[in-house]
Structure 1
Amino acid sequence: MTKHAKSNPIDSDNFVLQDYLDRIHFVGDVKSNIKSISKLMQCQLFSIPFEDLDVQAGKTISLAGNDIVDKLINRKRGGYCYELNGLFALVLQKMDISYRFVAARPLVNPGENPKTHMAIIVTLEGEEYLVDLGFGGNGIREPLKLNDTTAAQQGTETFALAKAENGDYLLQTLLRDEWKNLYSFDLSHQDWIDFKPANHYNSTHPDSFFTQNLVVVLQNPLGKKILFRNTFKSIVNGETKSYTFEPEKLKDILATEFNLEKL
């Protein structure tokens, strides 16, 4: 167990780095630099979907490391932020890269929102980066340097980190020539176990976005695919095509568009 596993305890005895690399179709050498982390991040985003199918089915969302590995790697499923970022944290632990979890407050929906989102701060080559593979359709694709407020083009989307009046960081995206806040966070260290209450809320509470909505997202080099409730949307080079579907078509769409065949 590495020193990072001790400070961010995700215990797993079934995580094998090569199995992960095969799952995300990663080709090449894995190196402890930001370029390699960025490539790993994109390969995971392009291979493992963000999805809340188990929440919709009323199943318990386990934060046990072995269960995450079994679900996302062995059973070729997806998950939401704790599972997706938790899996990436196992990769960082295996690579002996320093990181910590932070709790983020989603700002996409109106009204007050608790800090239910989880992201990762990676320290590498003397710099700190925001790394997040679990924010669904609005998520970043590459690490963002914390001390750089310059707008970053990632695919056809643009992201930036700003500072709020209270000192929090704000993740923003450029939408129709206006900056939109996605979530806020500070750098307070969170242990893995600290996200158990938020996971319970997100997966069981009637007010949770995930208990109310079916959502599946899979990024790709040209854009992304999004299934929301009974609508499928494909975004390619910034152009969107969408259609609604009947419930009996869901299984086929999950299999053909998101590679989710075994549910």
Structure 2
Amino acid sequence: MTLDLDAYLERIGHAGPVRADLETLNALHEAHVNAVPFENLDVHAGRPVMFSLEAAFDEIVTRRRGGWCYEMNAVFGWALGEIGFEVMRLSAGVRREALGDEALGNHLALLVRLGRDYLADVGFGSSQVHAIALDEGVSDHSPVRMALAKVDDGYWRLHEGGPGATFSYDFRTEPADEALLAERHAWQITDPNSIFCKTLTAKVRRGTRYFILRGRMLETQMPGRSTQQISDTPEELASVLDEVFGLEEPELETLWPKICARHRQLFPHAARDGAG
């Protein structure tokens, strides 16, 4: 299939100039996470998910759905390259701090070189809004903070939530091990122990509002506060997917018992247990 940069820019709603500079990089980054939801509906439902740029472009641009890191950052990195940015794919490891090197390759991130190095990542749950200069410190992605720190073994660690936050990923500033990425991609879409197979997930930004769906639970994070909403029926969850994320899940009725069982594991003290 033909990959069309103009179609991608229309998909994310970017009508401004496209130059290989930091202003454009940040504008594209923010537009992407506000327009394209991070989601794993295909993985959760057991539908085929291909490890290829063409498949990711078809999913995100042509069919106007969302994606996860391997899809989101594949398309974003390709678009940046078409514009003239120097982009390096990174085989990162989410929760490497706890899991060790076996986590490496479970996340695709991007390094963009613009006189200095920047971490770009539209696929880490849509939490990062703009590129982060490769320096130790904290950056604001309201209502989320990110903290970048050096690790003693030569890795960088990005903490979602500020310095020392437990949810993080590690990376080195070297070209991705593409075979490792493909291997970890295959594991995450097939192994029942993979979080992507266990939990239906969708996340998207809307300015400073950050919507996080895990199964039946929708959390809306805003500066200084957050709210939660539980879907009690497949119809209610379908409305959330449509109205908040612009997504449809054709197998929602079939998946509902699995979604309810996972809800009980994730939120054992939730006030309502619904029909599951």
TM-score range, shorter chain: 0.7 to 0.9
**Alignment partners' CA distance in 1, 2:178 and 2:17:** 29
**Alignment partners' CA distance in 1, 2:224 and 2:93:** 27
**Alignment partners' CA distance in 2, 1:51 and 1:141:** 17
SS in 1 for 2:81: helix
**Alignment partners' CA distance in 2, 1:46 and 1:92:** 17
Q: Say if 2:119 is the partner of 1:133.
A: no
More relative contact order, 1 or 2 (CA 8 Å, 6+ apart): 1
Q: Return the match for 1:122 from 112, 119, 124.
A: 112
**Alignment partners' CA distance in 2, 1:103 and 1:233:** 29
Shift of 1:109: 9.0
**Alignment partners' CA distance in 2, 1:108 and 1:22:** 36
Q: Say if 2:137 is the partner of 1:150.
A: yes
**Alignment partners' CA distance in 2, 1:261 and 1:19:** 21
**Alignment partners' CA distance in 1, 2:107 and 2:45:** 21
**Alignment partners' CA distance in 1, 2:112 and 2:209:** 25
TM-score normalised per structure 1: 0.87
Cα displacement string for residues 106-127 of structure 1 (whole angstroms, at most 9, x for unaligned residues): 1289545511111011111x11
Cα displacement string for residues 144-199 of structure 1 (whole angstroms, at most 9, x for unaligned residues): 111x2132122232222111111210112445x85445111112311545421111
Q: Say if 2:4 is the partner of 1:16.
A: yes
Q: Residue type matched to 1:203 in 2?
A: I
Q: Say if 2:95 is the partner of 1:100.
A: no
Which residue is 1:233 aligned to?
Answer: 219
Q: Say if 2:37 is the partner of 1:30.
A: no
The answer on whether the counterparts of 1:75 and 1:262 sit within 8 Å (CA) in structure 2 is no
Distance 1:104 1:166, change over 3 A: same
TM-score normalised per structure 2: 0.83
**Alignment partners' CA distance in 2, 1:64 and 1:111:** 27
Q: CA RMSD in A?
A: 2.0
Q: Say if 2:45 is the partner of 1:57.
A: yes
Identity of aligned residues (%): 26
Q: Return the match for 1:184 from 156, 166, 170.
A: 170
Structure that is richer in helix per residue: 2
Q: Residue type matched to 1:20 in 2?
A: Y
Which residue is 1:74 aligned to?
Answer: 62
Cα displacement string for residues 43-69 of structure 1 (whole angstroms, at most 9, x for unaligned residues): 000000000000111012112222211
SS in 2 for 1:40: helix
Give structure 1 stretches of 5+ with no counterpart: 1-12
Q: Residue type matched to 2:6 in 1?
A: Q
Q: Residue type matched to 1:129 in 2?
A: Y
Cα displacement string for residues 58-109 of structure 1 (whole angstroms, at most 9, x for unaligned residues): 0121122222111101111001100000010110221121111111111289
Distance 1:109 1:128, change over 3 A: closer
Give structure 2 stretches of 5+ with no counterpart: 251-276
Which residue is 1:163 aligned to?
Answer: 150
Shift of 1:18: 1.2
Which residue is 1:250 aligned to?
Answer: 237
Give structure 1 regions of 4+ aligned residues with deviation exceeding 3 angstroms.
Answer: 108-113, 177-181, 191-194
Distance 1:174 1:80, change over 3 A: closer
Which residue is 2:203 aligned to?
Answer: 217
Q: Return the match for 2:73 from 71, 85, 107.
A: 85
**Alignment partners' CA distance in 2, 1:203 and 1:109:** 23
Distance 1:29 1:225, change over 3 A: same
**Alignment partners' CA distance in 2, 1:39 and 1:53:** 27
Count of equivalent residues: 247
SS in 2 for 1:253: helix
Q: Residue type matched to 1:80 in 2?
A: W
**Alignment partners' CA distance in 2, 1:157 and 1:191:** 29
Distance 1:80 1:174, change over 3 A: closer
